[in-house]
Amino acid sequence: MRLQNVRVMGPTGLSLPTSIEVDAPGAVDRDASGLILSPGWLDLHAHLRDPGFPAKETLQSGATSAAFGGFTHVVAMANTDPVTDRPEQVRALIARAAGLPIRMSFVAAVTMGLEGQTLTDAVALQRAGAVALSDDGRHLMDLVTLRRALTAAAEAGLPLLIHAQIERLGDGPESEAAAVTQALEALAAVPRARLHVQHVSTRASVDLIRTAKRQGLPVTAEATPHHLALTAAEVVALGPQGNVNPPLRSVDDREALRQALVEGVIDAIATDHAPHDSGAKAAGANGFHGFETAVPVVMGLGLEDRVLYRACVERPREIIGQSIDEEWILIDPAAEWIVDASSFKSRGKNTPFSGRRLRGRIVMTLCRGQVVMERVMQHA
């Protein structure tokens, strides 16, 4: 397929309008004037609820939703039922994912059952195909266990992803800072280990990670679209629908995250896609749908295109050791639309952006040489 008059997003930003051949045999050539072609975005952090919670999401519904949101590769967390803490479970998930419209990788648990005590077999999990280890959703490891976990992950050649929250301290900023401090202390004591801090939400955490990077520690970090775009004050009226963990923070915290993203202190943007059925959300479940609003929310932050490329394409792949394949998304940056959660392909309709007018939308998603999603654009 030939796209004419398209701008291509790359490491230095956007190119001038050009004509480019995209690997999609049989697809119709098109005039892409005003559109942006980007390598597919990779989401480092998603909850696909499969196995165990089909009312919330399945691999199929999550993959379809991700394709509509512009993600050609999604990394699924281990807090399923049963927890993904054994090699045979990883192998089974990889086999099931082979027929999905996008690429999917799987994170295995650090500790059995996410209970923070008995370590999983990191080497066996890596051999089975896990791309990282994480107890995301929980953080029950003490300092000694965390050091052992980092050692095991290093021996397996895997990054360790941490949910930065000391649970006994609640979900306030001090809990996140304490968890980041603990993890960085453990990292400093373990040669060859790699640490990744998930869903950073506070200025204090940003400052700790910035200092650690300046000291040469191998730490990376991510922030979510909702923490980059919203504050606690903006979701008060939503009641339980505004619940997320970590919570949305202050304007100062949000600005610190944005600046850290520009600097590269925060390496990646990851959705923490956390779909829930309506009953669970009304009862207070934490988490937001992330896939189908991510591109316009992130593009609305006013970041330079080179920063978007680094945070959504390049660094996420580097963190889990993946290359940039021939996977593409076509974006209409001028398309304005009103978020209607009922139209989501995900089973989770729980979004804080419901009813908001966003600008920017995915026109086409291509993965493995196939057009897996094409949208007829209707501007709101």
At position 101, the amino acid (one-letter code) is P
| Residue keyed to tokens 């691999």 | 59
Residues in CB range of 84: below 8 A, 6 or more apart: 78, 90, 93, 106, 107, 108, 109, 130
CB atoms within 10 A of CB 334: 12
Nearest in space to 120 (alpha carbons), one of 92, 81, 160: 160
* pLDDT (0 to 100) of residue 306: 98
Cα–Cα distances in Å, from 177 out to 133, 146, 270, 347?
21, 16, 20, 33
Quick: pLDDT tens for 88-116: 999 999 999 999 999 999 999 999 999 99
Nearest in space to 256 (alpha carbons), one of 311, 305, 200: 200
User: b or e along 173-188 (b: 16 or more beta carbons within 10 Å of the residue's beta carbon)?
Assistant: bebbbbbbbbbbebbb
Cα–Cα distances in Å, from 337 out to 119, 291, 297?
46, 16, 12
* pLDDT (0 to 100) of residue 377: 59
* pLDDT (0 to 100) of residue 25: 86
CA distance linking residue 205 with residue 92, whole number of Å: 36
CA distance linking residue 59 with residue 51, whole number of Å: 8
Cα dihedral angle (234, 239, 243, 248), rounded to 10 degrees? 20
pTM: 0.97
Find out whether 300 and 359 touch, Cβ atoms under 8 Å: yes
pLDDT < 50: residue spans in the chain: 379-380
| Spans of all domains in the chain | 40-324
The CATH architecture assigned to 40-324 reads Alpha-Beta Barrel (3.20)
* pLDDT (0 to 100) of residue 144: 97
Which positions are catalytic?
272
Find out whether 327 and 370 touch, Cβ atoms under 8 Å: no
Quick: pLDDT tens for 136-176: 999 999 999 999 999 999 999 999 999 999 999 999 999 99
* pLDDT (0 to 100) of residue 26: 85
Cis peptide before 173 (omega within 30 of 0): no
